[in-house]
Amino acid sequence: MDIFLQQLANGLTIGSMFALVALGYTMVYGVMRLINFAHGDMVAASAFVGLTIYTQVMGQATSLMAVIAIFLLAALSMAVVGIILERIAYRPLRGAPRLSAVVSALGASLVIQNGIMLIWGPRMRIFPELVPQVYWDFGGVVISLIQVIILVLSLVLMISLYLFVEKTRMGAAIRASSIDQDAARLMGINVNSIIALIFIIGSSLGAVGGLFIGLYYRGITFNMGWQYGLYAFIAAIIGGIGNIPGAMLGGMLLGLFNAFIAGYVSSTWADAFTFILLIVILIVRPTGILGERVAEKV
């Protein structure tokens, strides 16, 4: 029972990180039918940007205000990178064959990854201890302050995003653009702005995810975007790519699944089992658990 509860807590923590990152993949796919392979590398870049803001701008302060500022600045930086990425890597290729955009996405991924290596070096860096090491022991089940922060903040962000997309006028414009861009234009929706908005939101959430990865795992490397990006991408597919609640659900499920495999089987097998899970889900439900929110043209 202890293992169960412990892995439940761990699973929810990593699940929220997967979910935050998965949202970036799914939102871009929803409107552009494009897998933004550079997204995972932007998540990694965010952790390094956070590190630099901490040392260079905040003078290594760990006050609450400083930590909030680090989060905001990192999210802002990645939002800017996201907009630039869309402008130079994807917008010129709209209307081009799909494969061109895929190649461009892979290229952008390599550029960002190598950019991180160029700036911060190829060796692992240690992410600062922005949150005090506080632990609570509930009869053998240990939960850290970092875990609580990650979980709560992720939930707040995800619920806000959900409400924004479902309840606001701009959210309706996002949904309309992801269903039928031409019809959305006929409504007066500026689809280019919506796409920029999607990149801003997705990149900022990914940036928060990257900082969480730094906080939780501490060691950050220039190429970690591949690994975390892949997991988040799988989470998005499990939930149903293009489907926003699906990415949240897929991220949480994948996090829990990973934690339980690590707890009951072995963490070395977690990757293999993850792919088995993906394959099983795709066999049973090819469009993911909540279904793709895209192809349903009437």
Partner 1 sequence: MSDILFEIKDLEVSYGSIAAIKGISLEVHKGEIVTILGANGAGKTTTMRTISQLLKAKSGSIRFKGQELTQLPAHKIVKLGISHSPEGRRVFGILTVEENLLLGAYTQTKMDREVLDWVFRLFPRLEERRKQLAGTLSGGEQQMLAIGRALMSKPEMLLLDEPSLGIAPILVKAIFKQIKEIAESGVTVLLVEQNAKAALKLADRGYVLDVGKIALSGTSAELLASEKVQEAYLGKKH
Binding stretches for partner 1 (CB under 8 A): 169, 172-173, 175-176, 179-180, 182-191, 293, 296-298
- In angstroms, what is the minimal distance from the CB of 176 to partner 1? 5
- In angstroms, what is the minimal distance from the CB of 183 to partner 1? 4
| Strands 135-138 and 219-220, sheet pairing | unpaired
What single DSSP character describes residue 242?
Answer: T
Nearer to partner 1, 128 or 246 (CB): 246
The identity of residue 198, as a single letter, is I
Nearer to partner 1, 137 or 296 (CB): 296
| Strands 135-138 and 125-126, sheet pairing | unpaired
The residue with tokens 């892949």 is: 230
Q: Which residues of 167-185 are buried (b: 16+ CB within 10 A; e: fewer)?
A: eeeebebbbbbbbebeebe
Q: How many residues does the chain have?
A: 298
Nearer to partner 1, 194 or 232 (CB): 194
The residue with tokens 């730094």 is: 214
Nearer to partner 1, 112 or 189 (CB): 189
- In angstroms, what is the minimal distance from the CB of 172 to partner 1? 6
Nearer to partner 1, 191 or 220 (CB): 191
Q: Count Cβ atoms below 10 Å from residue 123 Cβ, excluding itself.
A: 8
- In angstroms, what is the minimal distance from the CB of 170 to partner 1? 10
Side-chain half-sphere exposure of 218, counting CA atoms within 13 A = 5
285: left (phi over 0), alpha (psi -120 to 50) or beta: beta
- In angstroms, what is the minimal distance from the CB of 169 to partner 1? 7
- In angstroms, what is the minimal distance from the CB of 288 to partner 1? 15
Nearer to partner 1, 41 or 86 (CB): 86
Nearer to partner 1, 94 or 218 (CB): 94
CB 35, CB 102: distance < 8 Å: yes
Q: Find the radius of gyration of the CA atoms of the chain.
A: 19
- In angstroms, what is the minimal distance from the CB of 291 to partner 1? 10
Environment class of residue 139 by beta-carbon count within 10 Å: exposed (0-12), middle (13-18) or buried (19+)?
exposed
| Strands 141-144 and 125-126, sheet pairing | unpaired
- In angstroms, what is the minimal distance from the CB of 189 to partner 1? 6
Nearer to partner 1, 164 or 217 (CB): 164
